[in-house]
Amino acid sequence: MTLREASARFLEHLQPNDSQGEAAAQAHARTLQFLTSYLPEAALTELTPVRLRDFIARWYVEETNHQPAPGELLNSLSAFLSWVDANSRPTLEQGCRLVIAELQESLPRAIEIGRALSSQLKARGAFGFPEFLTSFEEGGRSQYDVDVGGSIGAIEGFFRVSRIEATAVEAEELISGERIWPVFLPTELAASIQIGYIINLELVRAADGWHIAACGFAYPPGTEF
């Protein structure tokens, strides 16, 4: 059985009998539409824990407008896995359920971190501090140095939070392994950040440390790129 066939059968099986059931059915349908877009020609058995985690923690974060909401997405995937276990042989790997359980808290938090940081940067404005050098939209080089009264650097990449002290974090660039310290967060965001979360950032260096010039998405801990 293919993943697409299993998804269609699962949706046919649903029989919503009230408005709440109808809302859940719509969330299920949208979730499985996303899943089959991610693995369009896959056999059902190709939905491994590794692929399911990549779908939830990376693809869903980047490719959708987060509707259904994270909790609804995870509930829909859990319902689909239960149906597959009851109606298909072979069943999916048990690790798929562990993936969903792991992301119940970290996926919504990652999305909220990304939204909050993006909103605060927009409110501040792109040129909120004089050391601003470039932006994602301008397509600048990923790393460079400018000698203006001392060395001022800028770097763009995916950063894992590895240490937190008040409103400053240490950020490990995933490709190079370089650790950047201190990176200053907006005060309103500091309480939401936890070690392990990954954020796509553009950083610029000033006399007191590093500041965030622009941001992309935020991802749950353990997301692979």
Q: In angstroms, what CA-CA distances link 111 with 57, 70, 107, 207, 209?
A: 10, 8, 6, 31, 26
Quick one: tokens of 220? Answer: 């749950």
Q: What is the mean pLDDT of the chain?
A: 86
Q: In angstroms, what CA-CA distances link 137 with 36, 113, 115, 127, 214?
A: 31, 21, 18, 14, 10
Percent of residues, the chain, with pLDDT higher than 90? 68
Residue with tokens 């490709």: 175
Of 112, 110, 83, 81, the C-alpha closest to 94 is: 81
User: Dihedrals φ, ψ of 145, to 5°?
Assistant: -130, 145
Of 178, 172, 6, the C-alpha closest to 92 is: 6
CA separation for the pair 89, 189 (Å, rounded): 46
Helix or strand holding residue 161 (H, E): strand 151-165
Instruction: Give the pLDDT mean for 84-99.
Output: 85
pLDDT band for position 24 (cuts 50, 70, 90): confident
Report pTM: 0.85
pLDDT band for position 27 (cuts 50, 70, 90): very high
User: Dihedrals φ, ψ of 49, to 5°?
Assistant: -55, -40
Residue with tokens 């309103």: 188
Q: In angstroms, what CA-CA distances link 148 with 4, 42, 59, 205, 209?
A: 57, 54, 40, 12, 16
Q: In angstroms, what CA-CA distances link 47 with 88, 100, 125, 133?
A: 13, 13, 42, 43
Residue 80 Rama label (left phi>0; alpha psi -120 to 50; beta):
alpha
